[in-house]
Amino acid sequence: MSAPGWQPDPAGRYEYRWWNGVHWTGDVVQHGVPTVDPWPVEQVG
């Protein structure tokens, strides 16, 4: 995967999800508003 940063949400629930360089976090963005996904992605891809 790529360096840490905002990436399209692999779960498809939000616009973007934070990739910390090792795994997906619960930090997400929807319509330009940052929030935390209460059901973070455990393992995608």
Predicted structure pTM score: 0.81
Residues 6+ apart with CB under 8 A from 38: 26
Domain residue limits, the chain: 5-36
Residue 23's pLDDT is 92
Instruction: Give the pLDDT confidence score for residue 38 in this predicted structure.
Output: 82
pLDDT tens series, the chain, 45 aa: 689 999 999 999 999 999 999 999 999 999 999 999 987 666 554
> Residue 12, class by beta-carbon neighbours within 10 Å (0-12 exposed, 13-18 middle, 19+ buried)?
exposed
Let me know how many helices (H) and strands (E) the chain has, helices first: 0, 4
Q: Would you state the pLDDT for residue 2?
A: 84
Torsion over CA: 12, 16, 17, 21 (sign): positive
